[in-house]
Amino acid sequence: MTIGKDIEKAAQIIRAGGLVAFPTETVYGLGANALNPIAVAKIFEVKKRPSFDPLIVHIHSYDEIYSLFASPVCQWVEKLSDAFWPGPLTIVHRKSALVPHIITSGLETVAVRMPAHKTAIALLQAAQCPIAAPSANRFGQISPTEAKHVTKQLSDIDYVLQGEKVSLGIESTVVAVAEQGCFVLRPGVITAEDIQQVVPLLQHNPYDDVSSLASPGLLKSHYAPSKPMYLLSDLNNTKLPPHSGLIVHSNENKWNNAIKVFRTSATHDYKEVASQLFAAFHTMEDDDTVQQIFIEPVKEIGIGMAIMDRINKAVFKYK
């Protein structure tokens, strides 16, 4: 695997059916030509991702919507893409015949996103094809926000493209869109309140009747470090067990026996917390002195919903 900043080289590899990890504004993706089913199959193999978990297709121009989504394209797609693209919003809509079944795990819908990230857009333009890319981590493990997080977890990638920094730090909001309105499948930095400004919000997934599979992004355990992780609020006293790592979101800290502390923010600024969350997980995972991790919860308002979604999935196994 080589690591570098060469867009043209990365694009050539994608066109030739290879795998390239690349940064986006949310997390690093592991990309392949979305229209080449054999290339896409390699993504599942390298990530050890179960074949029932569908991938997101990345695009750089609005026209691509009309080749990937079945017509008629639902009215809300234009509203959502006008409001939030390029950006951290993934739209799930009935797919066209062009989209290979391996991408959608056999579902009748496909997930599409236009990233707001210079390097990702330059790669999409140079490759001249839509790029299928899940987060570039092993299935169930921590999403990568830096090139070194990718190389830690994955081998057998042809190229790791470096470029503009990852700014947001948690994955895109995923919404299913149908005539009736839209339903949030995975919370992200774009909140349900933001979406409700432009499209009616549904209480149920409009595609539930056409697929028995819930979005695997809703799996209860995901994004988990390889060490036990617990919520600080579940602790009965104010002393941490020996060899604990501590992740907090402000300068206040009464648990002073932690062996290592990662502060995602000085002031509970949730944008900062989101951008540092996976870096905190990786730091604790990589530190051999840390045997278990405690993390401070945040309030489930605004971006706090997405942050708690990721934290709850990381602590779930240890509950």
Is the Cβ of residue 53 or residue 146 nearer to ligand TXA in the bound state?
A: 53
Q: How far is the CB of 139 from ligand TXA (least distance, A)?
A: 9
Cβ closest to ligand TXA, residue 109 vs residue 153: 109
Instruction: Pick between residue 158 and residue 309 the one whose CB is nearest to ligand TXA.
Output: 309
Structure tokens at 60: 């750089």
Decide: is 90 part of the binding site for Mg ion (CB under 5 A).
no
Establish if 160 lies at the interface with ligand TXA (CB under 6 A). no
113 binds ligand TXA (CB under 6 A): yes
Interface size with Mg ion, residues (CB under 5 A): 1
Beta bridge partners of 230: 294
- Residue 104 touching Mg ion (CB under 5 A): no
**Residues 234 and 296: beta-carbon distance below 8 Å:** no
Residue ranges of alpha helices (H) inside 209-315 are 270-286, 304-315
CA dist 272 and 291 (Å) reads: 26
Residue 172 interacting with Mg ion (CB under 5 A)? no
Q: Which residues contact 236 (CB under 8 A, 6 or more apart)?
A: none
* Of the candidates 290, 195, 285, 279, the residue with the CA atom closest to the CA atom of residue 241: 290
Q: Which of 135, 172, 173, 264 binds Mg ion (CB under 5 A)?
A: 135
- Kindly give, in sequence order, each residue whose CB lies less than 8 Å from that of residue 41, ignoring residues fewer than 6 positions away: 102
In the shown chain, the binding pattern of residues 191 to 220 toward ligand TXA, with x for contact by CB under 6 A and - for none, equals: ------------------------xxx---
Task: Name which of 185 and 246 has its Cβ closer to ligand TXA.
Answer: 185
Interatomic CA distance for residues 21 and 7, integer angstroms: 11
Q: Which stretch binds ligand TXA (CB under 6 A): 13-21, 108-116, 231-239, 277-285?
A: 108-116
Q: Do 293 and 244 meet the contact criterion of CB atoms below 8 Å apart?
A: yes
Tell me the residue nearest to ligand TXA as measured from the CB: 217
The β-bridge relationship of strands 109-113 and 181-186 is unpaired
* Angle between helix 118-127 and 7-15 (nearest 10): 50
Contact 83, 187 (CB under 8 A): no
- Rounded to a whole number of angstroms, the minimum distance from the CB of residue 116 to ligand TXA is 11
CB of 277 to Mg ion, least distance (A): 13
Given 36, 81, 90, 244, the residue binding ligand TXA (CB under 6 A): 90
Helix %, strand %, coil % of the chain (to 5): 30, 20, 50
Binding site for ligand TXA (CB under 6 A): 24, 26-27, 29, 53-56, 88, 90, 92, 104, 107, 109-111, 113, 133-135, 171-172, 174, 185-186, 215-217
Binding site for Mg ion (CB under 5 A): 135
